Amino acid sequence: MKDEYKTKKQLIAEEALQKNSSLLKALSHAQSQFIANIDTHVLFDELLNQLITLTQSEYGYIGEVLYSSEGKPYVKTNAITNIAWNEETRKLYEKFASQGMELHNLKNLIGAVLITGKPVISNNPSTDPRRGGLPEGHPPLNAFLGMPLYKSGKLIGTVGIANRPNGYDEDLIEFLQPFLITCANIIEAHRIDQQRKLSEKEMTKLSMAIEQASDWVVITDSKGNIEYANKAVEEITGYKRDELIGQNPRIFKSGKHDEQFYKKMWDTILSGLPYRIIITNRKKNGELFEIYHTITPLKNKKGEITHFVSTAKDMTQQKLMEEKINYLAYYDTLTNLPNRSLFNDRVKQAVARAEYNKKLIAVLLVDIDRFTFINDTFGADVGDEVLKEVGKRLSNSVREGDTVARLGSDEFGISLIDIAQSSDIVLILKNIMKNIRQPIKIVREDLIITACIGISIYPADAKDSPTLVKNAEIALTKVRGMQMNNYQFYTSDMNVRASEFLLMEKNLFDALKNGEFIIYYQPYFDINTGEITGMEALLRWNSPALGLLPPSRFIPPLEETGMIIDVGEWILKTVCSQIKDWQNKGYSVVPVSVNLSPVQFSQRDLEDVLERHIKESGINPKFITFEITESAFMQDIEFTKSVLEKLKKIGISVSIDDFGTGYSSLSYLKRFPVDNLKIDISFIRDIATDPDSASIVTAIISMAHGLGIKTIAEGVETEEQWKILRILRCDIMQGFYRSRPLPAEDVEKMLNK
Ligand code: C2E
Ligand code: MG
Ligand code: MG
């Protein structure tokens, strides 16, 4: 059909169809481009081109609407640049911008779109009252169409075209609707895309910062599997990143913390709270390092924990530095011993502790004799070696918890803590002097070193640490002026006691060697029949210088020096062979009680030693009873119980000695397999005169009988006491009333043939 035959309506329809198909083509092209992720600027340029061609306009732009902080819409000056404008528009803008022409000006026609939110048609823009007039030299505009772009009800952009030869009308606006929708969609997508790009850029910056940070950053999933570790983690731990990814941070576990430590951490972070801790971790090469951790749980929008971020500082270097500084400030680098300031500190601490636990402290200042001579004769190297060796020897002479320090050139300080009695100090002192005196193999010949020692004791000599040290210094000065290889206590009283103690120790040692100890026997009698039922072995010392001495004079030093162990074994052996001897002579022997010192009782292999001696003697164990004081019994209940059970197994009986002086609880007594209970002499002494004593004895006897234990009254001196005890149903008696302790040959006469 030729054009002239077509009706106007047909022509319009055809034109519309043609327009329509180009529009659709343009839109589908734009959409495919958009999907293909073409740069949105290129896309907008293309869309705008299509629009201009389609509407035969001269000018055109697509702009994004921005909002001011008060919520007012505006088109930023460069917003059009951001989105799209055609070449003619750009030229116009650039030409008139300098004259103050603004595309976003609310006073122009675009402004009218923004203000009304509706399309604006003007077919006489030059004189349109909605516009403030064209600038000087502006080419004439014959028509303008501005259209708002909406997305989800919000004005997000404007499209403006101008100078269409036929002008603009409502039909065209209607026709362009799909185009406007697409434009709005793309602007929105563009906006989101821009934001994403922006945040990606931010993220890249952030992750680069994290990656290169000198602090440790580890990110794990909610189960604790490592998803990310930064470079610092590699450097600190020595693990490569691919060795860490997928692993649990357990890989760093040092074994220095218990389950409780980790549980507390997990409990906190699983509850959604951050947790801060100092952890000791292990590197790949096994070395330990300390790290100050902050573990933060990351949550999603629903509040569920999706990740944990652990950030930390490696403290090892800092710590090493601190340790080094600390070391230099408090230690002597030659001997590696504490220096004077740490020593003073330790003495101060010791005093504070001793005030609390009521124990003694001793401060010993040790000065090497003739040190200047050694240094000058053999050289400084030898001098250094001597100092190191003396430091070592001093350290080996004291107990754990005591301090040995180097205070000055050849002066050492020692603080002995937790001392129960002053004789302990004398023993340690003796040990120190002996150890120093050992020859040192440094030069060709052995070098014998000796030292002088000044000692002060807390609390007798001073109650504060500076005075304590000062008094030890005074004692040292005194001894140095007198002779080499000697010691001096600050108080003269202590000097006397120390020398007495040392003399006593020597004498007791000789006594055992020379057979000056003897055993007396004191019989036990049945309280009703008066028959001999047993006897107690009591130690005596027949000292050549002092005569026959009772145990109260020498048992304490035997215990303090530990010699009671050897003497105790001697006693048992002697008693066993005495029993054997009586048996051989045809006597009907009675059980002999042997006293065990608390020092012996606390020995770990006690029962083995006792059993061995009894076996070797060939006597029946039923002839031996051990007496153990109530206080020794109660020191360590479980230990006592196990020893008693072992003794019972061997067939040895046990008596509790001096009962009533300690604080035994009856419920404990029930748990111990004891045979006899010896009521302490103090109750027996007063039994006839003091009703309290009588009632205590009554209670003890009935309680013991309730438990199937026999009672022995010790120290019965009078007939009256004996009679009362008989009425109170005591079983056995011992005391001067019937017999004093006697030498073996005298007690023998009491035994039946
Ligand atoms: P003990 O085991 O309670 O011994 C009883 C003490 O009471 C003995 O003193 C004994 O002589 C004394 N005595 C006995 N009857 C009377 C009396 O009628 N009147 C008075 N005033 N005293 C009486 P002794 O022999 O001086 O022993 C004292 C303590 O020394 C003993 O108390 C015991 O704890 C300890 N002891 C004695 N010999 C040894 C021993 O061989 N080894 C150990 N480890 N300690 C012993
Ligand atoms: Mg006894
Ligand atoms: Mg007793």
Listed residue (442, 467, 350) closest to 398, CA to CA: 350
CA dist list (Å): 685 to 393, 657, 694, 722: 53, 16, 10, 11
Q: What is the DSSP string of 4-30?
A: GGS-HHHHHHHHHHHHHHHHHHHHHHH
Q: How far is the CA of 680 from the centre of ligand 3 (A)?
A: 6
Q: How far is the CA of 449 from the centre of ligand 1 (A)?
A: 46
What's the pLDDT score for residue 343? 95
| Angle (nearest 5°) at CA 31 between 29 and 34 | 110
Q: At what angle do helices 380-397 and 422-436 cross, to 10 degrees?
A: 150
List, for residues 278-317, the tens digit of each pLDDT value.
888 999 999 988 888 889 888 887 888 888 998 887 666 6
Which is the closest atom of ligand 1 to the Cα of 627? 2
Across the range 665-683, mean pLDDT stands at: 84
352 pLDDT higher than 80:
yes
List, for residues 232-268, the tens digit of each pLDDT value.
899 889 999 888 988 898 899 988 888 888 888 888 8
Q: Which of 114-118, 218-222, 743-747 has the highest mean pLDDT?
A: 743-747
For residue 139, whether the previous peptide bond is cis, meaning omega lies within 30 degrees of 0, is no
Cα gap 692→687, rounded to integer Å:
8
What's the pLDDT score for residue 1? 41
Ligand 1 lined by 538 (C-beta under 6 Å): yes
Listed residue (125, 126, 143, 73) closest to 104, CA to CA: 73
What's the pLDDT score for residue 299? 85
Ligand 1 lined by 539 (C-beta under 6 Å): yes
Q: What is the DSSP string of 295-352?
A: EEEEE-TTS-EEEEEEEEEE-HHHHHHHHHHHHHHHB-TTT--B-HHHHHHHHHHHHH
What's the pLDDT score for residue 582? 95
Ligand 1 lined by 569 (C-beta under 6 Å): no
471 pLDDT higher than 70:
yes
What's the pLDDT score for residue 79? 41
716 pLDDT higher than 90:
yes
Ligand 1 lined by 597 (C-beta under 6 Å): yes
65 pLDDT higher than 90:
no
**Which tokens is 629 given?**
């004081």
Q: Report residues near ion ligand 3: CB below 5 Å.
A: 657-658, 714
Q: What is the CA radius of gyration of the chain?
A: 53
Query: Residue of the nearest CA to atom 33 in ligand 1?
Result: 595
CA dist list (Å): 411 to 26, 335, 367, 454: 101, 12, 5, 11
Q: Which single residue is written with the structure tokens 């992750």?
A: 207
Q: Residue 147, Cβ neighbours under 10 Å: how many?
A: 24
**Which tokens is 142 given?**
């014959």
What's the pLDDT score for residue 555? 92
Report the mean per-residue pLDDT for the chain.
Answer: 85
Cα gap 413→475, rounded to integer Å:
13
Q: How far is the CA of 360 from the centre of ligand 1 (A)?
A: 30
The amino acid occupying position 635 is Q
Ligand nearest to the CA of 571: 1
Q: Which residues pair with 66 in a beta bridge?
A: 74
438 pLDDT higher than 80:
yes
Q: In 3-state terms, what secondary structure has residue 421?
A: coil
Ligand nearest to the CA of 654: 2
Cα gap 565→256, rounded to integer Å:
42
Q: How far is the CA of 746 from the centre of ligand 1 (A)?
A: 18
661 pLDDT higher than 60:
yes
80 pLDDT higher than 50:
no
Q: Which single residue is written with the structure tokens 């490569």?
A: 240
**Which tokens is 232 given?**
């610092």
Query: Residue of the nearest CA to atom 11 in ligand 1?
Result: 741
Q: How far is the CA of 512 from the centre of ligand 2 (A)?
A: 21
Query: Residue of the nearest CA to atom 23 in ligand 1?
Result: 715
Which is the closest atom of ligand 1 to the Cα of 571? 41
Across the range 362-386, mean pLDDT stands at: 90
Contacts of 332 (CB under 8 A, 6+ apart): 338, 339, 405, 406
Positive or negative torsion for Cα 161, 163, 165, 171: positive
Listed residue (617, 631, 618) closest to 663, CA to CA: 631
Q: Which of 183-187, 300-304, 402-406, 484-488 has the highest mean pLDDT?
A: 402-406
Which is the closest atom of ligand 1 to the Cα of 550? 26
Q: Confidence band (pLDDT; 50, 70, 90) for 561?
A: confident
Ligand nearest to the CA of 715: 1
What's the pLDDT score for residue 126? 74
Candidate from 102-111, 150-159, 596-605 with smallest mean pLDDT: 102-111
Ligand 1 lined by 630 (C-beta under 6 Å): no
Look at 37 and 589; give whichever has higher pLDDT.
589
Q: Could you tell which of 520, 536, 560, 595 is best to mutate to test the pocket of ligand 1, judged by most ligand atoms within 8 Å of the CB?
A: 595
Which is the closest atom of ligand 1 to the Cα of 658? 3
Query: Residue of the nearest CA to atom 43 in ligand 1?
Result: 595
Q: How far is the CA of 712 from the centre of ligand 2 (A)?
A: 11
Q: How far is the CA of 538 from the centre of ligand 1 (A)?
A: 6
Q: Could you tell which of 538, 564, 599, 624 is best to mutate to test the pocket of ligand 1, judged by most ligand atoms within 8 Å of the CB?
A: 538
Ligand 1 lined by 523 (C-beta under 6 Å): no
Ligand nearest to the CA of 655: 2
What's the pLDDT score for residue 119? 93
Listed residue (553, 562, 575, 570) closest to 609, CA to CA: 570
The amino acid occupying position 335 is T
Phi and psi at residue 311, to the nearest 5°: -115, 145
Q: Confidence band (pLDDT; 50, 70, 90) for 462?
A: very high
526 pLDDT higher than 90:
yes
DSSP 8-state symbol, 621: G
What's the pLDDT score for residue 4? 47
Query: Residue of the nearest CA to atom 28 in ligand 1?
Result: 551
What's the pLDDT score for residue 524? 97
Query: Residue of the nearest CA to atom 5 in ligand 1?
Result: 714
Which secondary structure element, helix H or strand E, spans residue 595, and what is its range? strand 592-596
Q: Residue 504, Cβ neighbours under 10 Å: how many?
A: 19
Q: At what angle do helices 465-482 and 340-357 cross, to 10 degrees?
A: 110
What's the pLDDT score for residue 211? 81
Ligand 1 lined by 741 (C-beta under 6 Å): yes
Count each helix (H run) and each strand (E run) in the chain, helices first.
27, 29
134 pLDDT higher than 80:
no
Q: Confidence band (pLDDT; 50, 70, 90) for 719?
A: very high
Cα gap 479→74, rounded to integer Å:
101
Q: Which single residue is written with the structure tokens 């004996």?
A: 722
Candidate from 11-20, 56-65, 638-647 with smallest mean pLDDT: 11-20
Contacts of 38 (CB under 8 A, 6+ apart): none
Ligand 1 lined by 735 (C-beta under 6 Å): yes
Q: In 3-state terms, what secondary structure has residue 459?
A: coil
Question: The pTM is what?
Answer: 0.53
3 pLDDT higher than 50:
no
What's the pLDDT score for residue 33? 56
Across the range 24-45, mean pLDDT stands at: 63
Structural domains present in the chain: 39-206 (3.30.450.40), 214-320 (3.30.450.20), 333-491 (3.30.70.270), 517-752 (3.20.20.450)
For residue 459, whether the previous peptide bond is cis, meaning omega lies within 30 degrees of 0, is yes
Listed residue (18, 278, 50, 296) closest to 161, CA to CA: 50
